[in-house]
A and B are shown apart, each in its own frame.
Chain A
């Protein structure tokens, strides 16, 4: 059974700083997803990572995947207030069925 753990659970950081959110998973996952959720809202897809060494970037966010270490990271560069949200990673353990297992999320607060 796939388990997904994120850390930290809570993160406060100043504008302009860099930081990384970590996502560890317990068994083989054929793909790894990152989502963003604003308070009271639904989930917005950020990245889909399919293979070892995959790196994707969008604005100040960059996600990477190391399947050997069973680790994905979400790196935030020069944080701005608009990035305040909860970030979830999710793994897919059922090839073809796309059953996602979510981490508990990282609540990110950017302080001016």
Chain B
């Protein structure tokens, strides 16, 4: 089955701790994205990557970091500098072509202890 997987489904972070959210896709998509969703809100772009070994900041990159060492994988690290990390994190990927849409993974819910 082709698709996007995210793990874990739920993640708890202690004060001062860095945590990493996993995102893997087997759709052979070049582009991958990380979004944050707060309750009752739309999605905001954190980081995106158009190609392996390259990524760009989105609208709310402060306190987050990413890597893109493999085409299939785009992990997101929520650092201790992110003071309000509680949110629903969604990873997406997109293929080439004008008719393509962004396909979303199931999401990771991050809570602060």
Q: Are A and B part of the same complex? A: yes
Q: Which A residues contact B (CB, under 8 angstroms)?
A: 4, 31, 33, 35, 41-45, 48, 50, 88, 90, 97-105
B66 CB, nearest partner CB in chain A, Å: 15
Other A-B contacts than A100-B43, A100-B45, A104-B40, 18 sampled, CB-CB below 8 A, are A33-B102, A41-B107, A42-B105, A42-B107, A43-B43, A43-B104, A45-B102, A45-B103, A97-B48, A97-B50, A98-B94, A98-B102, A99-B45, A99-B48, A102-B42, A102-B43, A104-B42, A105-B41
Is B42 a contact of A105 with CB atoms below 8 Å? yes
- Interface size of B by CB at 8 A reads 24
List chain B residues, Cβ under 8 A from A104: 40-42
> Does residue B68 face the partner (Cβ distance < 8 Å to A)?
no
| Interface majority SS (helix, strand, loop, mixed), chain A | strand
CB contact between A98 and one of B31, B105, B106 (< 8 Å): that residue = B31
List chain B residues, Cβ under 8 A from A35: 104
> Does residue B53 face the partner (Cβ distance < 8 Å to A)?
no
